[in-house]
C-alpha cells in the first residue's frame, strides 16, 4: 500500500470514529462503561471421553493453532508398589524408560532419533501414578509415535546408563544432611507417615545399590501395561484417525497385572516438640498433624479456613503476623494437603532466626486459637471466595492439563458433577462454617512441632534480647517444656540411635 492510500485509510477510520462519538456511543466517564457479564461453564469430561476396543479410556481435545500433538499415557501405580528394601526403584525405572534406549535403539541413538524428529518424549513414576508423554509435529506422527510406543512398551534399560543414574543418586544421598529444609521435610515425613510407608520412605545407599536391571524390568512390566492405562491426546489431529491408530497400537500390547490399591499409613505419632540438632543460623520450623481426605464433605470449608489462616500468601493471617507485622520470617504460612485414599496433612511452616523461633511458634499457635474462638470476618471470607471463583477457569485453560484432570478424576472416582457444583459450594461458605472447620479439623494440642537448628539457643528463645516481658517466649511454653531429640542420621544409611526426651 502506498503512502496516499495509507493516509486515505486513516482518514476514513477517523471519520467513522467521529461519527460514533457524535452519536453518543462513548460514555462520558470510565465509570459509566458497562461490560457484558463473562460466563464460564466448566467442561464436562464425558464430552471428551472415548474408549478403545480393549476398554482403555481416551480423552481428546483438538486445537489447530499449531501443527503439534501431545499424547500422554497415564498409568495407575507408583512408588507404593516398590518392594521392601528397594526404595529408589520407581525413580530409576522412570528415568531409564526415557534414557535407557528401546528395542531398536541404544540410549544415545534414541536421543538422536527423537531430536531428528523434533519430538520431545518423557517418562516418570510418581507416588501413586506413572506416565509417559510425547510432543511431536503432525508431519512426523508415524515415526514419532512408533518410537514412543517402542520406548514405553519395550525399553532397553541399558546397564551403562543405569550405572550413571545410580552414581548420580548416590552422590545426592551423600549431601542430603547439608540442607536444613530437606532434613525437616524428611523427618516430618517419618513422623507422620512412617519410614515403611511410601510417603515417608527414602532411598539409601544400600537400596540403590541393590537395584538390578531385572528389578527395573519387572517393576516396569507391573505398571506400564494396558490394564493400568488411560490416554489423553491434545493438539492438531483427526479424532477418528487417532482412535484407529491407538486401537491398532493396543492390539499387540498384552494386558498385565492391575496395580493394587494405595495403602494407608499405619504410623501413629505422639504430639510434642521434636528437634534435630544442626548448627545453622536459620531455623526451619514445621508444625502439623494429619489432615483430611480429598472428598471430605467439609473440604471446601476447610480449604477456605486454611486460606484465611496461612494458605493464601500475603493475605493470610500467619503470613501477616509472622512476616509482615513482626518481620520474623521471609516465608511463613500453612498448607492443607489432602489425599484421596486416606487423610493428608495439615502443616504450618516458617523459617526464622534462632532466637525468634519460640516467639514465632507462639504467634502461629495464637492464630490457631483465634480462628477457632472467633468467627472469621465476612470480608476475609469473601476475599478467599472471590479468589477461588475468579481463578477457577484457569483449571481448564490448558487442554493438556484439562485432559489430565479428567483422567485423574476418573481414576480416583471423583463425583461427575464436582466441577459444575464447585463454585456454588465455595459461595456457600460462611463464618460459622469456617469456625466449625477450624474447631473440627485443627487440633493444636495434637500437633507436632519439628525444629531443625541449634537446640540450646532455640530453647532459650528471645529472653536475652526482648525488653518486653510479655513478648519473651522460650520453648518451655510448649508441651510443658518437654522436647524429643531426633538423633543424627547417617546420610547414606538413614540409621540413627534411639530418640531421647529432654524435660
Structural domains in the chain, CATH included, are 45-251 (3.30.830.10), 272-502 (3.30.830.10)
Please give the pLDDT value at position 20. 44
Model confidence over 190-200: pLDDT tens digits?
A: 999 999 999 99
Query: Residue 474: pLDDT above 60?
Result: yes
Cell numbers at residue 192, please?
507422620
Model confidence over 343-369: pLDDT tens digits?
A: 999 999 999 999 999 999 999 999 999
Identify which has the larger pLDDT, 30 or 172: 172
Among 66-75, 179-188, 494-503, which stretch is predicted with the lowest mean pLDDT? 494-503
Model confidence over 251-283: pLDDT tens digits?
A: 999 999 999 999 999 999 999 999 999 999 999
Query: Residue 16: pLDDT above 90?
Result: no
- Cα-Cα-Cα-Cα dihedral sign, residues 223, 225, 229, 234: positive
Average pLDDT, whole number, for the chain?
93
Please give the pLDDT value at position 4. 46
Alpha helices in 316-356 (DSSP H): 317-318
Contact, 322 vs 344, CB < 8 A?
Answer: no
Model confidence over 76-110: pLDDT tens digits?
A: 999 999 999 999 999 999 999 999 999 999 999 99
d(CA 155, CA 130): 15
Torsion of Cα atoms, 467 then 470 then 471 then 475, to 10°: 110
Model confidence over 206-226: pLDDT tens digits?
A: 999 999 999 999 999 999 999
Residues whose CB falls within 8 Å of the CB of residue 242, separated by 6 or more in sequence, listed in order: 60, 233
Residues whose CB falls within 8 Å of the CB of residue 371, separated by 6 or more in sequence, listed in order: 305, 308, 309, 317, 434, 435, 438, 442
Amino acid at each position: 500500500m502506498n503512502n496516499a492510500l495509507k493516509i486515505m485509510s486513516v482518514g476514513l477510520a477517523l471519520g467513522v470514529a467521529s461519527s460514533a462519538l457524535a452519536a453518543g456511543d462513548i460514555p462520558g466517564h470510565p465509570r459509566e462503561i458497562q461490560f457484558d457479564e463473562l460466563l464460564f461453564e466448566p467442561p464436562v469430561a464425558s464430552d471428551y471421553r472415548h474408549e478403545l476396543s480393549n476398554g482403555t479410556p481416551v480423552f481428546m481435545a483438538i486445537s489447530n493453532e499449531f501443527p503439534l500433538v501431545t499424547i500422554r499415557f497415564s498409568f495407575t501405580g507408583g512408588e507404593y508398589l516398590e518392594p521392601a528394601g528397594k526404595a529408589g526403584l520407581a525413580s530409576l525405572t522412570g528415568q531409564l524408560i526415557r534414557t535407557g534406549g528401546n528395542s531398536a535403539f541404544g540410549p544415545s541413538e534414541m536421543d538422536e532419533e527423537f531430536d531428528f524428529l523434533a519430538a520431545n518424549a518423557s517418562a516418570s513414576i510418581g507416588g501413586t501414578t506413572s506416565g509417559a508423554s510425547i510432543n511431536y509435529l503432525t508431519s512426523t506422527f508415524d515415526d514419532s509415535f512408533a518410537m514412543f510406543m517402542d520406548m514405553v512398551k519395550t525399553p532397553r534399560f541399558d546397564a551403562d546408563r543405569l550405572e550413571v543414574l545410580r552414581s548420580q543418586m548416590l552422590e545426592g544421598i551423600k549431601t542430603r544432611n547439608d540442607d536444613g529444609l530437606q532434613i525437616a521435610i524428611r523427618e516430618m515425613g517419618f513422623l507422620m507417615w512412617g519410614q515403611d510407608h511410601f510417603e515417608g520412605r527414602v532411598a539409601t545407599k544400600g537400596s540403590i545399590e541393590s537395584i538390578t536391571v531385572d528389578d527395573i524390568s519387572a517393576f516396569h512390566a507391573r505398571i506400564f501395561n494396558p490394564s493400568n492405562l488411560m490416554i489423553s491426546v491434545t493438539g492438531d489431529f483427526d479424532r477418528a484417525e487417532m482412535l484407529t491408530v491407538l486401537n491398532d497400537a493396543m492390539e499387540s500390547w498384552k494386558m498385565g497385572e492391575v496395580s493394587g490399591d494405595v495403602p494407608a499409613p499405619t504410623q501413629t505419632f505422639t504430639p510434642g516438640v521434636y528437634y534435630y540438632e544442626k548448627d545453622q543460623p536459620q531455623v526451619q520450623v514445621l508444625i502439623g498433624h494429619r489432615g483430611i481426605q480429598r472428598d471430605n464433605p467439609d473440604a471446601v470449608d476447610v480449604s477456605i479456613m486454611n486460606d484465611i489462616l496461612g494458605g493464601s500468601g500475603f493475605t493470610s493471617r500467619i503470613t501477616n503476623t509472622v512476616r509482615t507485622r513482626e518481620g520474623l520470617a521471609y516465608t511463613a504460612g500453612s498448607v492443607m494437603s489432602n489425599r484421596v485414599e486416606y487423610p493428608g496433612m495439615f502443616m504450618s511452616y516458617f523459617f526464622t532466626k534462632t532466637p525468634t523461633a519460640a516467639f514465632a511458634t507462639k504467634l502461629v499457635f495464637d492464630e490457631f486459637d483465634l480462628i477457632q474462638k472467633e468467627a472469621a470476618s465476612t470480608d476475609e471470607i469473601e476475599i478467599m471466595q472471590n479468589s477461588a471463583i475468579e481463578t477457577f477457569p484457569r483449571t481448564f485453560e490448558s487442554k493438556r492439563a484439562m485432559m489430565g484432570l479428567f483422567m485423574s478424576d476418573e481414576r480416583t472416582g471423583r463425583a461427575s458433577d464436582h466441577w459444575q457444583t464447585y463454585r456454588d459450594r465455595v459461595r456457600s461458605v460462611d463464618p460459622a462454617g469456617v469456625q466449625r472447620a477450624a474447631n473440627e479439623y485443627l487440633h493444636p494440642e495434637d500437633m507436632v512441632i519439628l525444629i531443625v537448628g541449634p537446640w540450646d539457643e532455640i530453647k532459650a528463645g528471645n529472653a536475652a534480647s526482648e525488653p518486653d516481658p510479655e513478648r519473651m517466649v522460650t520453648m518451655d511454653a510448649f508441651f510443658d517444656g518437654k522436647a524429643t531429640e531426633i538423633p543424627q542420621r547417617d546420610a547414606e544409611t538413614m540409621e540413627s540411635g534411639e530418640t531421647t526426651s529432654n524435660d
